[in-house]
Amino acid sequence: MKALDALLGALPEGVDPPDAASLEAALANARAAWPGVAIDDARLAVFLGARVTTRTGLPDLAAGDLLVACGCLAGDPAAIEAFESRYLDVVEQVVPRLRYQAVSADDLRQLLRVKLLCRDGERPPRLADYRGTGPLRAWVRVAATRTVLNRRRGDARHRAAAKEAADLAAATTRRDPQVALLLKRNRDAFRAALADGIAALAPLQRRMLRQHYLRGLTLVELASIYDLHRVSVARRMRAAREQVLQHTRESLARRHGLADSDIDSLLHHLGANGELALEVSLASTVSGADLQLSQAV
């Protein structure tokens, strides 16, 4: 039996081999639960066999849920549709319970699609980690909860880092009265020029910058969301940052008459050629928070 041979070849070392009847029962249960998922028996047997342990026998596995997981990882349309309709809908429960307004149900769905169904460099999709020892729906709920909590912690770290950078910037101005005077005179001009530079971006550029800086999405996640190569995303992000900072420079020089040396001092003071200010200005356009920039300048 081809499926049995495949299962036996996938068993971890030291695990007693299941008999043919156990495999036939597991395959039948999986097919009964999801008859439209087109994964052949041998492939599913390998997926099942890799999850059998000395403590978890083949009859203990959630065969139907593992069929959906196996199908999603293989790109089967019926499996992906089942995952969307019967498993990802847990976000509707998770989001209200955690009361974190920065992540909507739609946002969380997309984050989970990327996290669970897409490769991260050499790492397989996280759905491959599902072992089948409990319901897949419960496993996805845990993944959704962790995703939101990680985003919340990331936002808190971002705010702390921005505050630390702004405090450092403020300390610099106290040590250098000339920089302090320059910032005081040109604070409004700089903020307006930076905001104009962000507004001048194409909507996709602006959205990608916000998702990266404010929501902490990685280049891999952005590449999956927009169906782009990671290198292409990195180039677009770099081009958007350079465009904003160049627009800021030109506006300060043309509209406000600042010398190049003064502009360099402003950007250097705000750190990383103005990237701290860029992050804060992006935040202010979506949340009204301009605390760090006002502290820094």
**One-letter identity of residue 61:** L
Per the CB < 8 A criterion, the answer to whether 58 and 52 are in contact is yes
pLDDT at 288 over 70: no
Residue 166 CB-half CA count within 13 A:
18
Mean pLDDT of the chain: 78
Q: What is the pLDDT of residue 272?
A: 41
pLDDT at 88 over 70: yes
Task: For residues 53 and 56, give the distance between their C-alpha atoms in angstroms, rounded to a whole number.
Answer: 5
The pTM (predicted TM-score) of the whole model is 0.56
Q: What is the pLDDT confidence band of residue 84, given thresholds at 50, 70 and 90? A: very high
Q: For the residues 113-117, what does the mean pLDDT come to?
A: 88
Task: For residues 55 and 78, give the distance between their C-alpha atoms in angstroms, rounded to a whole number.
Answer: 31
Hey, what long-range contacts does 220-225 have (CB within 8 A, 24 or more apart)?
220/114, 220/118, 220/120, 220/121, 221/111, 221/114, 221/115, 224/113, 224/114, 224/118, 225/110, 225/114
Does residue 167 sit in helix, strand or coil?
helix
Task: For residues 225 and 242, give the distance between their C-alpha atoms in angstroms, rounded to a whole number.
Answer: 23
Beta-bridge partners for 123: 120
Q: What is the pLDDT confidence band of residue 214, given thresholds at 50, 70 and 90? A: low
Q: Which residue has better confidence, 51 or 215?
A: 51
Lookup: tokens for 51: 């999850």
Lookup: tokens for 230: 């990671």
Task: Residue 144: name the closest of 192, 90, 99 by CA.
Answer: 90
Task: For residues 175 and 49, give the distance between their C-alpha atoms in angstroms, rounded to a whole number.
Answer: 66
Lookup: tokens for 285: 């356009």
Task: Residue 27: name the closest of 9, 48, 55 by CA.
Answer: 48
Task: Residue 236: name the closest of 213, 218, 209 by CA.
Answer: 209
Helix (H) or strand (E) run with residue 121 in it? none
Angle at 60 between CA 59 and CA 62, to 5 degrees: 95
- Tell me how crowded residue 28 is: count the other CB atoms within 10 A of its CB: 11
Task: For residues 224 and 67, give the distance between their C-alpha atoms in angstroms, rounded to a whole number.
Answer: 24
Q: For the residues 58-81, what does the mean pLDDT come to?
A: 95
Question: Which of the residue ranges 10-14, 122-126, 179-183 has the most confident prediction, judged by mean pLDDT?
Answer: 10-14
DSSP structural state of residue 123: B
Radius of gyration over alpha carbons of the chain, in Å? 26
Task: Residue 266: name the closest of 174, 184, 209 by CA.
Answer: 184
Task: For residues 174 and 269, give the distance between their C-alpha atoms in angstroms, rounded to a whole number.
Answer: 12
Q: What is the pLDDT confidence band of residue 292, given thresholds at 50, 70 and 90? A: very low
